[in-house]
Amino acid sequence: MKTLTIFIITVTFLSIAIFFLISKTNTLVNTATINSQDFVLGSSDIDFPHFYEPVPGKKTINPPTSGAGQTVQTINSDGLNERFEYSVTKSEDVFRILTLGDSFTEGLWVDTPNNYPERLEELLNKNSKCLTQTTYEVINLGVMGYDVAYSAKRYLTRGQKYEPDLILWLVKEDDFRVPNTFIANEYYTYPEAERSLNPHLYWSKAQDKILANSNSEDILNFEYTHMEKVLQSNTHKSVFVIAYENMNPEVKTFLKRLTKHPNVTFSPFLKETTNFGDTDLHPDEPGYESLAIQIRNKMLEYGMLPKDNCKI
């Protein structure tokens, strides 16, 4: 059950900087410098002292960039990039999907109604012909800059209470390659006076140092361990993990280990969208629409939707 969120409009400029680097294998890698005006910073969890989530109830107007016009993100009272409020208690006629991921799930550089979870929700409800389950809810827990471990933390602290029928987890290679916790810990060792003058430089330094001194398999194991925590906490729930087709074979091998869980379905692999904005390698509006359609088709292909005489 949904009611439109009422916001007190506060016009602010998004002061989040994102860098996109292309590795030798064309893997998307992002780093994010996060501010306290748009994000709640810090956590009492000793494993995630620099964890961050969007400020609840905030409407952010992002200024035009070279590749996108002005965009508006509405964050609901639970800190989700959503047009609506979602009741924690789920109606019997609702099939609830919860999405995890980074900025591709959050919907960076597009208005809230145009991110892929919103588009997926509309696609499912528009074309649904079900005898019993009549409404699909797709709840967006994606946040820019998240790796797998941060997405897992977000689910366990924010998403689990919604008791979804299906967890939909969109992963990219950088979600397994760029460990936020280690990089943030290193980043905050630099003097604050220096960091404040050039946060991008010092985040890059921290990332380079961590990646240069870490074994890639150790990083993959760290991320995978936190993904396992979500899977183990939802042994009775369906989890659908979707990845892009251009992932490194080492990461693909790790992802295939997920199938040992009887409630997990792994879909290899989505094609990269060709609809990118000019600013970076995030999708534009048609790109997010294409992503939603691909994911809906994968859900149908793998039987992830209700089987009670529903057709999409």
Instruction: Tell me which H or E stretch contains 104.
Output: helix 103-106
Which of 219, 216, 134 is CA-nearest to residue 182? 219
Q: Note the pLDDT of residue 235.
A: 74
Secondary structure of residue 103 in the 3-state scheme: helix
Which of 121, 175, 44, 152 is CA-nearest to residue 288? 121
pLDDT band with cut points at 50, 70 and 90 for residue 219: very high
Domains along the chain?
Answer: 2-179+214-301 (3.40.50.1110)
* pLDDT of 55 over the 70 cut: yes
Q: Note the pLDDT of residue 275.
A: 60
> For the residues 263-270, what does the mean pLDDT come to?
81
Q: Report strand pairing: 135-140 vs 94-100.
A: parallel
Q: In this predicted model, which residue has the larger pLDDT, 199 or 20?
A: 199
> For the residues 20-38, what does the mean pLDDT come to?
46
> For the residues 281-291, what does the mean pLDDT come to?
89
Per-residue pLDDT of 122-158, as tens digits, reads 999 987 666 555 799 999 999 999 999 999 999 999 9
Say how many C-beta atoms besides its own lie within 10 A of residue 186's C-beta: 18
> For the residues 42-51, what does the mean pLDDT come to?
90
Q: Note the pLDDT of residue 32.
A: 43
The b/e string for 190-223 (b: 16+ C-beta within 10 A; e otherwise) is beeeebeeebeebbbbbbeebbeeeeeeebbebb
